[in-house]
Amino acid sequence: MTERREDKEEDLASEEIEVPSPLMENGEADFGELEDVDSGDELGSFPVEEESPDDEESCFMRLFNTTFKCYEADIKPSSQVAKRNWKGLLLALLVITVISALIILACFLTYDYKTEPYYGIPLTLNDIVMLNGLINRPNAQFTRNNLVYLSSNGSLLAIDLKTHKHRDNNPQVKARVDIGPFEEGFEQPLLNHAQFSPNSEALAFVYKNHIYCQRNPFNKSMDNMPVPITAKIYREGVLYGVAGFLYEEEIMGASQTFWWSPQGTKLAFTAIDETNVTKTKLLFFETPGTFGPQVNDHSYPMAGEERKFNMPFLTIYVYLMATNKLVDFERPRKVPQDAHMTFFKWIDDERFLCGWVARNWDLAWIVVGDVSSKTMHSNISRHLTTQYPQWVHTPDYDVRDILHSFGGNEVLYTSIGKDPKEMHLFITRGGTQAKCLTCGDPNCLFNSAKVSKDGSNIILECLGPSPPSVYLKRFVRNATNLGSLEHVAVVSNNTKLKEVVAVKAMPVTKFENVTIHKGTTAEVTLNVKFVQPPELVETHITQYPVLLETYGGPISQTVTTKFVADWQSYLVTQFKFVVVSIDGRGTGNRGKRFESAIYKKFGVVEVQDQMDGLRQVLKTHKYLNRSKVCAFGWSYGGFSVANILGHPDNDFILCGVAVAPVTDFRLYDAAYTEKFLGPYSENSHAYERTQVTQLARNFKNKDFLIIHGMADDNVNLIHSALLVKELVRHGVEFDMMPPKRPPPPTHEEAARKT
C-alpha cells in the first residue's frame, strides 16, 4: 500500500500518469478499487476515508473535480490562468502610466506658467494702408532765418533758427490766382510742374511740353500773362522741362528738369530729344464703354537693339529774364553725344555745374557752364572752383551722401559706418578723422539728413527701427572732438502713428549673419533679416511657413533697420509667415568688391546666394517649416524668383510669386542695363544668360504666379508674355494675374536704381 501511494505521488508530480476514469461504461462511478489514504497526505494524493452512504455524492464530486480539472491534458489549473492575466494587466497599466507621464512632462516643460502676453490686434490690409498714410515726413525747407514746414494737419509752421521759437503762420488768403496758360476767367488745366523763383517775383510751369514763365503772378494790375519761353525752339518729340521715362527712372531720379538761379534772374532747363527712341505700346483698359484698349506710345530704348543711336539726346538751355532770350549750351567735345547728364546745380547766377557719364557708365565728366561766355568747360580749374581736387576722406565703408563742406577738409556726410544695415551722420576733418554724430540711439539706427546753407542746422530724419520722427538739430563744431549735435525741436513725432502701432500686433524683426561656402575660397557672409510673428518662440515645436522676399539687384538693399509696414507685415501677423530677406553679392553698402560681383553676370551669383543663404537659414532654425517655402519678388526681384524656381539645383523652394518680372534684359531699358552689363554688341553672352525662358521646363511641379500690369511702363508686358509662351510650350501649369496698373514697389530703396 505504501509503495503504491509513493508511485502515485511521483506520477502526480510529473503530471504524466493516466488515471482510469471512475465512471463505468453505464456512466456510474466505480469506487471499488480506490484505496484508503491518510488525511495527512500531500496535495495530489487521493485520501478516501470510510464513508457513509450520505457522503457518497460529495465524495464523487471531489473525485470528479480532481480528475477532470487537474489531469486533463488541455486544461491548466485555474490558479495559473489567473496569475498570467494579472501579469498582462499590470504590464498594460504600466505602459499607459509611462505614456501618460511623458505627456504630462512634455506639457510641463513647454507650458508657460506666466500670464499669457497680449500682442495686440492683428494687422489687416486696411491697417497697412492706414499706417503708411499716417507716416508724416514733412518737406521741411531751410530759408534764410527759418525752418519752414507743413504740419500733419496742414498748418504752415516756422522755427526761428536763432531763437528756436515756433511760429504758426496761420495762412490768410489775400488773393487767389489760378495758375495756367489761359486768360483769367477760363478754367486752368492740370500742370506737369510749377515753381516760384527764389525771390518769388516769377513763376515757371510746364504744360503740354511747353515751359511758361509768369512774372509777378499775384499783381493783377500788370499784364502778367504767362509767356511760353520754348515756343521758338519747340519741336515735336522733344521734352522741355520734364525728364521723360528714361531720365526720371534711371538717370536723374526726378521728373522736373528746370532750375532757377539763386537770384532768380535766370532759368535753366533741359530739352530732351526722343525722336530716335524706340516706341513701345502701353495698353489701358480703363475707359468705360469702349470695346478695346487705349494704346499709348511710350519712348523706351531697349538694351538689345542693334541701332546705335536709340537714346535720348539732351541739350541745356538758359532763359535770361532780363532780355527774354534763350542761350543754348553745346557740350564739350570730350563728352560723347550719347552721354547722359546726371545732375545740374547752379554755383551762382552766372555759373552752373553739371555731371555727365558715358552711355555704359565707365567714364564721367564734371562740366562747368558759364552764362556770360555761353560755353561749358570739362577741365576743372582753380579759377572756376577756387580749390584743387583732392581726397577729403577715404573710409573703409560706403558713403551715401555728401551734405556740406566747411572747407579745410571738414565735411558732413551720411554713411553706413561699420554696419551695412544702418545709416548715420558723420563729420570728418583732415582726411583721417571721422566721428559718428547719430550713433548710440537704439531707436534711431537709420537716418537721413538735410543741412542748412552755413552747416549749423540739420534736419534729421530718424527712419527706424522705431516709427519715423523728424528733428531739428544744431551742429556744434569743436576743435578737439570734431563736434556734436544739440537737440532744438521736434518737427514731426508721428504721435498718431505711434499710438496705432502700440495697439497693433506688429511683427518682430531680427537680424543675423549667415556664412556660405565656409572653408572655401568662395566663402562669403550675407546679411539676413527675419520678420516674425510676435508670439513666435524659437524653442517651441511649432513650425512656421517661410516667405523669401528677394530683390537682389545691383546696389539695392532690403536688409536694413528702417521701419516698415507693408504687405509682408500683414502676412506675418495674420497668417503666421516668417519673412526672410537676404542681401547677397551685388547689393549695396558692402563695398565695391561685394557690389561688383554681379557686374556683367546677372542671374548667377545673386540667385545662388539667395538659395544657399536660405538653405543655411532653414538648416539652423528648426522653427522654420522646410516643406512650406515660397519666394516673392518684384521687378528685378521677379527676375530672381523666376531664376530660383527654374534653377536645376533648386529642390526646396517650390513656390514663387513674380511681380512684373524681367525675363530678358535685352528687352529692358538701355540706361540701366548697359550700366551693369555693358553694350549688347560687346557682351551678348551676358544678355543671353538672363533669358529666363531657357529654364521654362524646370518650372514643372512648382506653384508659380505671375502678376504683371498691362500698362507697366518700366517692365513692359512683353517680358511675362515671352515667359508664358515658353511655359505653355513645355506643359507647365501656372497662374497669372494682370492688374489694371503696375503694383507699387515693396521697398523704395530696393526699387530705386541709381
pLDDT by residue (tens digit) across 651-675?
Answer: 999 999 999 999 999 999 999 999 9
Separation between Cα atoms, residue 89 and residue 684, nearest integer Å: 80
Contact at 8 Å (CB) between 705 and 724?
no
More confident of the two residues 192 and 38: 192
- Taking all residues of the chain, what is their mean pLDDT, rounded to a whole number? 85
Using DSSP, state whether 545 is helix, strand or coil: strand
8-state DSSP, 423: B
Which pLDDT belongs to residue 395?
Answer: 64
Share above pLDDT 70 across residues of the chain, in percent, rounded to a whole number: 82
> Of 733, 736, 703, which is closest to residue 719 (Cα–Cα)?
736
Which pLDDT belongs to residue 37?
Answer: 42
Whether residue 293 has pLDDT greater than 50? yes
The CA–CA distances, whole Å, from 608 to 12, 514, 614, 615 equal: 85, 14, 10, 11
Which pLDDT belongs to residue 16?
Answer: 45
pLDDT by residue (tens digit) across 529-550?
Answer: 999 999 999 998 899 999 999 9
Which pLDDT belongs to residue 381?
Answer: 52
Name beta bridge partners: 158.
148, 167
Whether residue 329 has pLDDT greater than 70? yes
Domains of the chain from N-terminus onward: 2-70 (no CATH), 173-276+311-389 (2.140.10.30), 521-751 (3.40.50.1820)
Separation between Cα atoms, residue 326 and residue 320, nearest integer Å: 6
Alpha-carbon 558 to chain mean position? 5
The residues near 390 (Cβ < 8 Å, ≥ 6 apart) are: none
Cα-flanking dihedrals φ and ψ of residue 676, to 5°? -115, -20
Which pLDDT belongs to residue 48?
Answer: 46
More confident of the two residues 414 and 116: 414
Separation between Cα atoms, residue 678 and residue 672, nearest integer Å: 10
Amino acid at 175: A
- How confident is residue 25, by pLDDT bands cut at 50, 70 and 90? very low
Which pLDDT belongs to residue 41?
Answer: 44
pLDDT by residue (tens digit) across 450-486?
Answer: 999 999 999 999 999 999 999 999 999 887 788 899 9
pLDDT by residue (tens digit) across 57-68?
Answer: 555 455 445 544
655's grid cell? 513656390
Separation between Cα atoms, residue 414 and residue 406, nearest integer Å: 15
8-state DSSP, 699: G
The residues near 116 (Cβ < 8 Å, ≥ 6 apart) are: none
Amino acid at 74: D
> Of 435, 447, 410, 457, which is closest to residue 143 (Cα–Cα)?
457
Whether residue 388 has pLDDT greater than 80? no
Which pLDDT belongs to residue 670?
Answer: 95
The CA–CA distances, whole Å, from 259 to 197, 269, 352 equal: 9, 6, 10
For residue 465, whether the previous peptide bond is cis, meaning omega lies within 30 degrees of 0, is yes
Using DSSP, state whether 170 is helix, strand or coil: coil
Which pLDDT belongs to residue 299?
Answer: 94
Sign of CA dihedral 211, 214, 217, 220: negative
- How confident is residue 278, by pLDDT bands cut at 50, 70 and 90? very high
Q: Residue 587, class by beta-carbon neighbours within 10 Å (0-12 exposed, 13-18 middle, 19+ buried)? A: buried
| Three-state SS letters, 337-352 | CCCEEEEEEECCCCEE
Separation between Cα atoms, residue 662 and residue 658, nearest integer Å: 9
More confident of the two residues 24 and 562: 562
106's grid cell? 512634455
Which pLDDT belongs to residue 581?
Answer: 98
Which pLDDT belongs to residue 409?
Answer: 80
pLDDT by residue (tens digit) across 175-190?
Answer: 677 787 877 777 788 8
Contact at 8 Å (CB) between 193 and 240?
no
8-state DSSP, 555: T
pLDDT by residue (tens digit) across 692-745?
Answer: 999 999 999 999 999 999 899 999 999 999 999 999 999 999 999 987 654 444
Which pLDDT belongs to residue 473?
Answer: 95
Alpha-carbon 105 to chain mean position? 41
- How confident is residue 92, by pLDDT bands cut at 50, 70 and 90? confident
Separation between Cα atoms, residue 153 and residue 157, nearest integer Å: 11
Amino acid at 547: L
Separation between Cα atoms, residue 209 and residue 192, nearest integer Å: 9
> Of 100, 110, 20, which is closest to residue 68 (Cα–Cα)?
20
Separation between Cα atoms, residue 484 and residue 489, nearest integer Å: 16
Separation between Cα atoms, residue 629 and residue 336, nearest integer Å: 49
pLDDT by residue (tens digit) across 126-135?
Answer: 999 999 999 9
Q: Which of 37-51, 265-279, 523-537 has the weakest average pLDDT? A: 37-51
Alpha helix (H) residue ranges in 376-526: 382-385, 495-503
Cα-flanking dihedrals φ and ψ of residue 726, to 5°? -70, -35
pLDDT by residue (tens digit) across 338-362?
Answer: 999 999 999 999 999 999 999 989 9
Whether residue 430 has pLDDT greater than 80? no
468's grid cell? 519715423
- How confident is residue 27, by pLDDT bands cut at 50, 70 and 90? very low
Question: Angle of helix 636-646 relative to helix 605-620, nearest 10 degrees?
Answer: 70
Residue appearing with cell numbers 531657357: 694
Sign of CA dihedral 357, 358, 360, 362: negative
Contact at 8 Å (CB) between 242 and 209?
yes
- How confident is residue 91, by pLDDT bands cut at 50, 70 and 90? confident
The CA–CA distances, whole Å, from 490 to 140, 485, 535, 714, 741 equal: 12, 14, 34, 38, 38
Contact at 8 Å (CB) between 229 and 241?
no
Sign of CA dihedral 585, 589, 594, 600: positive
8-state DSSP, 551: -
Whether residue 424 has pLDDT greater than 90? yes
Question: Angle of helix 567-575 relative to helix 125-134, nearest 10 degrees?
Answer: 140
Contact at 8 Å (CB) between 629 and 548?
yes
Name beta bridge partners: 511.
529
> Of 556, 531, 524, 566, which is closest to residue 545 (Cα–Cα)?
531
Q: What is the mean pLDDT of residues 512-538?
A: 94
Contact at 8 Å (CB) between 734 and 656?
no
Q: Residue 665, class by beta-carbon neighbours within 10 Å (0-12 exposed, 13-18 middle, 19+ buried)? A: buried
77's grid cell? 489549473
- How confident is residue 749, by pLDDT bands cut at 50, 70 and 90? very low
